[in-house]
Structure 1
Amino acid sequence: MTMQQDPATTRFTPGQEILHRHFTGDRLVYVRAVRVVAHDDLGLRLWIPRNTPMSATMTADGRGLRDMPFAEWVTVERELTPMRWTGPDIFMYTPPDAAHSVMFFWYPRDKFFGWYVNLEEPGVLWQDEHAAGVDITDQDLDMWVNRDLSWSWKDEHELEERLNFPDHYWVDDADAVRAEGLRVAELIEKGAFPFDGTWCDFRPDPSWSLSQSLPPGWDRPRARG
């Protein structure tokens, strides 16, 4: 198997189905099959419609990370569970080398209603003869941006709670995470790209179909830069 992991040379093709995977350490905790809108020097753009096939880490009784205190989460048995995305359609933009991505939300499907800034470790892009994708670690603290460019932090309480468990938590520099968010906030408050109306009217290629399940290769080891 030949693996390509150089973000400077890896390029995905418009319409290509790839895997967007979240890890904590080397453990795969979340994965979705997504569609490439474009990939160039501007960055990676992805389309994630409602009902996209995915797997998320759950307990045997169907609870997720947000359904219990973190102190309990780190002690219970859990496994990746197949399901489908039940949220709104998402256009995701990841700038090159950035420690965040920006998700554009529509609800209903023809009405743009805001941006979600996901703070994360810079993704590692990979592809081989059989599959392709991007691997990240979500850093929990996020931002919600309204259409009028007012914004707020999200999930601050989760970050603070989990920092009390350094042996189990995947965020080791909360100050750096917040600093990245503040850099994005400067763009938001100026109405600068990508918060300037770009892509707010995006609609997907009608020929793109939903897969019935995650494609082969979804559970391969994490790619590291």
Structure 2
Amino acid sequence: MFHREGQTIILVTFFITVGIILSAQFFVPIDWLRIAFQLAAFIVLVLILQFFRNPKRLVTPNFDEILAPVDGKVVVIEEVEETEYFKEKRKQVSIFMSPLNVHVTRYASSGTITFSKYHPGKYLVAWHPKSSTENERTTVVIHTPKFGEILYRQIAGALARRIVNYAEEGEQVTQGEDAGFIKFGSRVDLFLPLDADITVDLNQKVVGAKTCIATLKSQDG
């Protein structure tokens, strides 16, 4: 299954691919050159299909867990000052997505959207320290039953030129549901309460709507 945000690109790429393959078949007399053109066009189509894939993931909402909002690799786990919304210290977990990862953004928790804002910006590489504050990005805050408010930020990478964000203020959302899409390379930052127990490690690969990112610290200490 493919994400709706890729439908136009997939169709256009498909017709261009068919056109190149047929044109090469009839107008390129040199065998190796014809095959090279046809193979290159087919590979591009496969890469586009792979990028916009949208695997179904069944989730039983769990208020005690924050799930990974995207597929990728954990590149940051640290305590930071979140300056846009909370204006106080939070635990940050950042996940980097390569072009080979599924790029669907999913809600990390069920709750109510209390803040949703788009920021135009630069296109620094997604792992650059300033990408979180200078790149094109969206900031979304969810009020959750157990964790209070959590914030996630979709950040465009060097290749990305469009972030899709479905979150609207006042909307009730369900953990694991489709929250948006980032086209062609990106990163997502999560900002969690200081009493959250982070359950992933640096450089760990995570799966959106499946890998648990954090739980609440035990009240027993």
Greater helix fraction, Structure 1 or Structure 2: 2
Greater relative contact order structure (CA < 8 Å, 6+ sep): 2
Query: Normalising to structure 2: TM-score of the pair?
Result: 0.23
Q: Whose Rg is larger?
A: 2
